[in-house]
Amino acid sequence: MRKMKLPLYDMLLSQAEAEKNKAFLTIDLLSNHPAGIGDHSTSDFYDNANEALESLASADDKIETLKRYFDVHGEEYPIRR
């Protein structure tokens, strides 16, 4: 396992989780509210669905990679608000 400082790990994990949530939201919108998408062709619809799936797979891969290869170390840090 490689070592990574907690702030960097948290940032990378948060970004991947945000990408995953965005992909789920897009897939939900496409499958449950297609009328809200507007003037898109069938090809656009399929392209958007495929892009969302690719984003979901990529985000999952990033999350799994972080958990598999990196050991978080360092002290806790205060979260700025």
> 24-37: per-residue pLDDT in tens?
999 999 999 876 56
pTM metric for this prediction: 0.81
What is the average pLDDT across 69-76? 79
Residue 79 lies in a domain: no
Domain boundaries, position 52: 2-33+40-73
pLDDT tens-digit readout, 16-69: 999 999 999 999 999 998 765 666 677 888 898 999 999 999 999 999 999 999
Number of domains composing the chain: 1
Q: Taking the CB of residue 72, how many other CB atoms lie within 10 A of it?
A: 16
Q: How far apart are CA 79 and CA 52, in angstroms?
A: 31
